[in-house]
A and B are shown apart, each in its own frame.
Chain A
Amino acid sequence: GKEDAGDASAVDQDEKVIEISYGHGFMPETPHHKAAIKFKEDVEAKSNNRIKVNLFPSGQLGSAREMFEGLQMGTQEIALVPTARISGFAPELQLFDLPFLFPTREIAYQIMDGKVGDELLHNLESQQVKGIAFYEDGFKHFTANNELRSIEDFRGVKFRTMESPIIMNQFRALGSNPVPIDFSELYNSLQLGVVDGQENPLVTILNMKFYEVQDYLMISSHAYLGHVLIFSNSWFNSLPEDIQEILVSTGRDVAQWQRAAVQEEEVAYLKTIEESGTTIIHLTEQERNVMRDATRSVHDEYRKLFGDDILDKTYEEIDRLNN
């Protein structure tokens, strides 16, 4: 009741449940959503249910750009968004889109969890958003209706791309023709031949059923699709310290869990795709080097736009980790 407000609020302070909306764009069966569920369970348990996390998968709260804005405005608390989809806010995150940058997944993880990753996450502060950790879709691969074995097979092929200059230039550097097509029209466009191919990580190729309408999958691991777990900054700063600690540490721990889950699922994805009759081709080391050299110009483009600093640091780290 209102009359004993003093007493009640003291109790409330301890028992008041903090409700959080956590949105992402991935389907319920993906490792991404399973990671979100794990985050929810861990956070709720660790906080003795002082926190309640409501999950909104499949883009129910909007696109990545819209959710990012939601965090800025304070209409949503947590989001997991692809780095490639928020380049309008944090252009330097396009680092991940650069073709043939990370030689292995392990190195990619170490870069993301190291000082380059820290700096990228820290840069988000200027956007009123707190970057917590990098999750992943994993490496992107090419699919097409013509056989893809070497760079020659890319010449003149129409590839659907996101509306991103860096990715379009990657295709131009390979001699293909990039065609921006909205994601919602991609399945039909592949089926009816508006475009011949596309690039995506296995989790998307599987979930969006692109393998149903593509004859060849080249395991090219040519670029990395990362996600970033972000919190609304103003909301986060208003929380008690112990809660902040729970949210940040759980967010980071689940990132490790999610990456392992993606790797595990990829084995099953490949099996499903192969069984559907899609031919799987592994890019040879030699051809990989040819394609890497051919697309180096895209890195220079990035350098022109965002300076030498981040890219040089990344190269340095990669060299160090390679040895």
Chain B
Amino acid sequence: MKSLNRILSTIEQWFIGSLLLTITFILFINVILRRINMSLDWAEEFARYGIVWVTFVGASVCIYKGAHIGVDAITAFLPKKGKNILSSIVILISIIFTALFTYQAFKITYRVYSTGQISSTLGVPMIYIYGAMPLGGLLMLIRYSEKLVDSIKCIRGGKE
């Protein structure tokens, strides 16, 4: 299970890293092409939708790396055990929200699919772009579940 997670996370990271590089280079190349009057029609749209993918897949990586930004006001006053319990509750809340988000994201993606919405320049069905949300949601669910298990273990074992 653990090693499966590691593989998954490596794939996620490579995906978002290379996607970001690709977008950057495409916009750069487009600037040059424009000088010789050969603008790419789709560069701008590709950049916007690429960043959507980076965001929702990256949000899962952020969980893995503990990088999501939170307000830390009360943790400073809590004892170690209290911190662990609080963190479990927070993860539980996060799981509930992420499940809700994923379900609603599936719904809207299905709607986009069933009404056949397409993007305006790439002509790509919007499902491939909205799809970043349910997929990212699922990945986030996996990450948060993993965190919940770890955190409950901590409370049981009393360790950090």
Chain A residue with Cβ nearest B41: A168
Residues of A near B126 (CB, < 8 A) are 88
Q: Are A180 and B121 in contact (CB under 8 A)?
A: yes
Asked if B115 lies at the interface with its beta carbon under 8 angstroms from chain A, I say yes
Contact indicator per residue, chain B 47-67, by CB within 8 Å of chain A (1) or not (0) = 000000000000000000000
Residues of B near A89 (CB, < 8 A) are 115, 117
**Contact A88 B117, CB 8 Å, known A72-B111, A158-B34:** yes
Interface of A is mostly: mixed
Interface of B is mostly: loop
**B interface bracket (residues with beta carbon within 8 Å of A):** 10 to 19
Asked if A164 lies at the interface with its beta carbon under 8 angstroms from chain B, I say yes
A126 to B120, CA, bound (A): 19
Which of A91, A128, A163 has a CB less than 8 Å from the CB of B115?
A128
Which of B37, B43, B44 has a CB less than 8 Å from the CB of A177?
B37
**Contact A163 B37, CB 8 Å, known A72-B111, A128-B115:** no
- Which of A164, A178, A180, A181 has the largest count of B CB atoms less than 10 A from its CB? A180
Asked if A284 lies at the interface with its beta carbon under 8 angstroms from chain B, I say no
Residues of B near A289 (CB, < 8 A) are none
Contact indicator per residue, chain A 63-93, by CB within 8 Å of chain B (1) or not (0) = 0000001001100000000000001110100
Asked if A127 lies at the interface with its beta carbon under 8 angstroms from chain B, I say yes
Asked if B150 lies at the interface with its beta carbon under 8 angstroms from chain A, I say no
Chain A residue with Cβ nearest B34: A179
Asked if A307 lies at the interface with its beta carbon under 8 angstroms from chain B, I say no
Residues of A near B118 (CB, < 8 A) are 88, 91
Chain B 95-145 residues near chain A, CB threshold 8 A:
108, 111, 115, 117-121, 123, 126
Min distance, Cβ B69 to any Cβ of chain A, angstroms: 25
Chain B residue with Cβ nearest A168: B41
A158 to B42, CA, bound (A): 17
Q: Are A88 and B111 in contact (CB under 8 A)?
A: no
**Contact A163 B39, CB 8 Å, known A72-B111, A128-B115:** no
Residues of A near B115 (CB, < 8 A) are 72, 89, 126-128
Asked if A103 lies at the interface with its beta carbon under 8 angstroms from chain B, I say no
Min distance, Cβ B106 to any Cβ of chain A, angstroms: 14
For this complex, 15 residue pairs linking A to B, each with C-beta atoms less than 8 Å apart, are A72-B111, A88-B120, A88-B126, A162-B120, A163-B45, A163-B121, A165-B121, A168-B41, A178-B39, A178-B41, A179-B34, A180-B41, A180-B121, A181-B44, A182-B44
